[in-house]
A and B are shown apart, each in its own frame.
Chain A
């Protein structure tokens, strides 16, 4: 067993769990001893340029003749636009283009539901909505110009609260969306009546989750260039470059070969860059001005006009036998969509509605989900795609159930947890499952048994656990799920790898380069990962659903293996030896079993380029997840993802009895990642996701008043700093999924998903108070403790 404990002064420790043999599971990878890069702690391939300050981000981009653009945004949550007068802005010296609603295509857009205009036409629906835009020689002039645009509004009654929005007679955000319902679903499995009848204990509770922002450090930006032949080049930090290009093509009526999206270094994304409202505006301004246009949000504009995590009210009910066997689960989800649909319809009606059901062996489930329009900024994806919200509700209620039944919360989860080989209640086929190992190893690490049973009487300390299941790829919306990659050999024996999956900082370039290197037999220094551009790279869906390692990794591995075979084919001709007797290793050709190489790959390339039948070595790898498209057409039933990652998180907390402040003393995150292609990068994902989750659980909330965000900057919207983090310990469980490259599954989103319930459950263990709303602020805990003291004093009597 390869155990690793590399913590510096106890700050971080990682345990790498070799998989225990699971009966009936095929060996995903038999040649592990031949791997040079896969499975190794390798620094990011782009780290050197980043530490030297030489990496060029979107915000650093400068093009010749580039103009600077600004957007005029709505000050009203809901108002009719009566008139716009931009004469003064147009005539301001330095202004090169003014874009008004009438200059934009009438067709509405949206990744799932087309309900959003490029600029607000007729009426505005949230504070911060785009009304007009200006491109000028510098940002100051653009700002001056938008202030000169006069807009006459007639304010309309607004609706901010989801319960209110659903009431009859409430103002309609969109006239054609009756009852303000943006989307809904009802998913029933089994027979609920029977489920409740068979249950010996039934618990029910309401949970609420808040609005938070992804707060990637580099705010949203688009640099657009229109070429005279009618084409467009967009420098756009988006997680879906190809589908975005296709949407732009459709709405602006430009063929695909005339639009190119280019990506350079991106300053974080976390799901918040799956969608944007800047691309059309920047493109239209660039067309109008005939010069490149840079349209960049300020941090305040980012928080007030881009996407927030979907806030929810969740009513959840679980029924079980006295021995702890889960029987039935019912949820009613009400979720806030904001004024326009981005990705919330699928987040809520497909994912939130079903995902957490697949963690356990429920026999009957019912999910009723309603996504509601309000006059607030649109909501969308943020690390977890609806799973953190529903997991908070489910894992909190299971904790309550465990305490009611007198069963250890870890044991209760082990008893009901899904296992390898299971088909879940929604038709997910579990190819690998390390849930049990995550729970057992995590519990061991945090000292669960001792701390769960023996409580410190002097200090308010407690431990909590929460588990999760997630996807690696998602066929919740599209006909196809998979990825493609291409590799081309250069004449000197080096290679370039093209994958259209965006590098957000998550390490895609590094992980794919590691896989390519081992697949080809080249060293990492011989591989360049191309920047993403939609002309050179093959079509992909983009990095979301924690799928890049699995889907793109498989595509790259296939392409790499093809290249290796092509190299061997040429080498075989050169050496007059059969291909089967040769191998490629360390950029050289060896005869199997021999120590010294016969040729270098460079020599092979020279031969390939200069001899009869000359050709460039090139390979195209395609990986199709081969799963089922999930939606209302099949009652949301089927195997949605290629593989399913699991996790169990454990928190140890201390609550200050005076202030209600929560200190996380220790945090253990055990993740089944299938196979860690790069354990250091996996730890980085875990640590980053856990800390984002701490922010979500304890600190962060976008606060609205009458639809206007009250804390749109980092001064008032707190995210965790280095002072706020606990010691975090990662445990990597390698269950070797049959579908993953070398067995690997996704890790990006799972790291945040169980954080809130793990902490809330630890707080309950510490002080016996269960908070059902996040964020769990010191103020809320203080008030809850005070209320309890008052009650107990009253009960005690005079």
Chain B
């Protein structure tokens, strides 16, 4: 089947099998390896991407569902000016160890901040509660997100 969607600001038209999931298309067909498949069952959050402004688990999204949607992956966050403030904050606060959860974690945080620029600590914790991290103990991840909360962020893709 043919599916059309906007990926990181660019309109795409792809011929795909309807049985495929969004993460399969991103990783295998489009070569975007930033979204990770940690469990393939929607339990770890490593495959998180943003779909129409909401953080979703791309391993659970059948590709026909993205028809006409706008998707942002980790590869779409950087602009000509450099890293997204969340990306910078993760680097500077030491919020990364193995980094396998990082792309999903940043995108969950971005979706949250886009909706509510000044979340409380509890809201931040809740936002990333579906993104498992086994290395950092979450402390520095929460600090990194908190450091960006309240900042005005110029958006590359709306």
Contacting residues, chain A, for B151 (C-beta < 8 A): none
Q: A217-B38, A217-B44 are in contact. Are A506 and B97 (CB under 8 A)?
A: yes
A9, CB-defined interface residue at 8 Å:
yes
Closest B-chain residue to A48, C-beta based?
Answer: B91
Q: Does B74 contact A (CB under 8 A)?
A: yes
Quick check: B83 and A218 within 8 Å, CB to CB?
Answer: no
Q: Are A688 and B146 in contact (CB under 8 A)?
A: no
Nearest CB in chain B to that of A730: its residue: B139
Contact flags A285-306 to B (C-beta < 8 A → 1, else 0): 0000000000000110000000
CA–CA, A687 to B37, complex, Å? 25
Instruction: List B97-154 residues whose CB lies under 8 Å from chain A.
Output: 97-103, 106, 121, 124-126, 128-143, 146-147
Chain B interface, >50% SS class? loop
Interface string of A504-516 (1 = CB under 8 A from B): 1111000000000
Whether the Cβ atoms of A11 and B142 lie closer than 8 Å is yes
| CA distance in complex: A533, B138 (Å) | 31
Residue on B with the closest CB to A216? B134
- When distances are taken between beta carbons in the complex, the residues of chain A under 8 Å from B83 are 48, 51-52
Q: Which of A246-254, A435-443, A627-635, A712-720 contacts B (4 or more CB under 8 A)?
A: A712-720
From residue B57, how far is it (CB to closest CB) to chain A in Å? 12
Residue of A nearest to B127 (CB): A722
**Contact of A59 with B99 in the complex, beta carbons under 8 Å:** no
The chain A residue with its CB closest to the CB of B87 is: A51
Determine whether A775 belongs to the interface, using a CB cutoff of 8 Å to chain B. no
- Which stretch from A266-274, A314-322, A548-556, A761-769 is at the chain B interface? A266-274
Whether B96 contacts A683 by the Cβ 8 Å rule is no
Interface size class of A (residues with CB under 8 A): 35 or more
Interface contact A505-B94, CB-CB below 8 Å: no
Query: Which interface class (under 10, 10 to 19, 20 to 34, 35 or more) fits B?
Result: 35 or more
User: B33 contacts which chain A residues (CB < 8 A)?
Assistant: 53, 56-57, 60
A684 beta carbon closer than 8 Å to chain B: yes
Which B residues touch A265, using CB under 8 A?
98-99
In contact, A722 and B134 (Cβ under 8 angstroms): no
**B44 proximity list for chain A (CB < 8 A):** 217, 299, 714
Contacts of B92 in A (CB 8 A): 43
B39 at the interface (CB under 8 A from A): yes
Chain A's nearest CB lies how many Å from the CB of B82? 10
Q: When the two chains form their complex, are residues A683 and B94 in contact, meaning their CB atoms are under 8 A apart?
A: yes
Chain A contacts with B in 41-63, Cβ cutoff 8 A: 41, 43-44, 46-48, 50-57, 59-60
Q: Among B93, B106, B135, B139, which residue has its beta carbon within 8 angstroms of that of A725?
A: B139
Q: Give the shortest distance, in Å, between B92 (CB) and chain A (any CB).
A: 6
Chain A residues whose C-beta falls within 8 Å of the C-beta of B124 in the assembled complex: 722
A714 in contact with B41 (CB, 8 Å): yes
Give every chain B residue within 8 A of A684 (Cβ-Cβ): 94, 97, 135-137, 140
B37-A12 in contact (CB<8A) = no
Please, how many angstroms separate the alpha-carbon atoms of A62 and B97 in the complex? 24
A47-B106 Cα distance, complex, nearest whole Å: 13
Asked if B73 is an interface residue, CB under 8 A from chain A, the answer is yes
Give the Cβ gap from B54 to chain A, nearest Cβ, in Å: 18
What is the chain B residue whose CB lies nearest that of A723?
Answer: B129
Q: Contacting chain B: which of A70-78, A110-118, A167-175, A689-697?
A: A689-697
- Specify which chain B residues have a CB less than 8 angstroms from the CB of A505 in the assembled complex: 97-100, 135
Q: How far is the CB of A689 from chain B (nearest CB, A)?
A: 7
A1-43 to B contact mask, C-beta < 8 Å, 1/0: 0000000110110000000000000000000000000000101
Assess whether A182 is interfacial by the CB under 8 Å rule. no
A740 to B130, CA, bound (A): 40
A599 in the interface, Cβ–Cβ < 8 Å?
no
Contacts of B46 in A (CB 8 A): 217
A91 contacts the other chain (CB 8 A): no
Is there an interface contact between A59 and B147, defined as CB atoms closer than 8 Å? no
Q: Is A453 an interface residue (CB 8 A)?
A: no
Cβ of B39: which chain A residues have Cβ within 8 Å of it?
Answer: 298-299, 713-714
CB atoms of B41 and A713 under 8 A apart: yes
Given contacts A714-B43, A728-B139, contact A57 B96 (CB under 8 A): no
Shortest CB distance B50–A (Å):
13
Task: Give the Cβ gap from A395 to chain B, nearest Cβ, in Å.
Answer: 21
Interface pair A12/B139, CB less than 8 Å apart: yes
- Set of chain B residues within 8 Å of A151, measured between Cβ atoms: none
Residues on B with C-beta less than 8 A from A60 are: 27, 33
Q: Is the CB of B40 within 8 A of A683?
A: no
Is A680 in the interface zone, CB < 8 Å from B? yes
Q: Across the A-B interface, give the 10 residue pairs with the lowest CB-CB distance, nearest first.
A: A53-B34, A505-B98, A50-B99, A53-B74, A691-B137, A267-B100, A687-B137, A714-B43, A505-B97, A51-B87
Name B's A-contacting residues (CB within 8 A). 27, 32-41, 43-44, 46, 73-75, 77-78, 83, 87-88, 90-94, 96-103, 106, 121, 124-126, 128-143, 146-147
Supplied contacts A8-B142, A721-B138, A722-B124, 5 more A-B pairs, CB within 8 Å: A57-B33, A298-B40, A683-B139, A684-B136, A714-B43
A-B contact pairs, 20 of them (CB 8 A): A8-B147, A50-B99, A51-B106, A53-B73, A57-B36, A217-B44, A218-B98, A266-B98, A267-B99, A299-B40, A504-B98, A505-B99, A684-B97, A684-B140, A688-B134, A691-B137, A720-B138, A722-B124, A722-B141, A725-B138
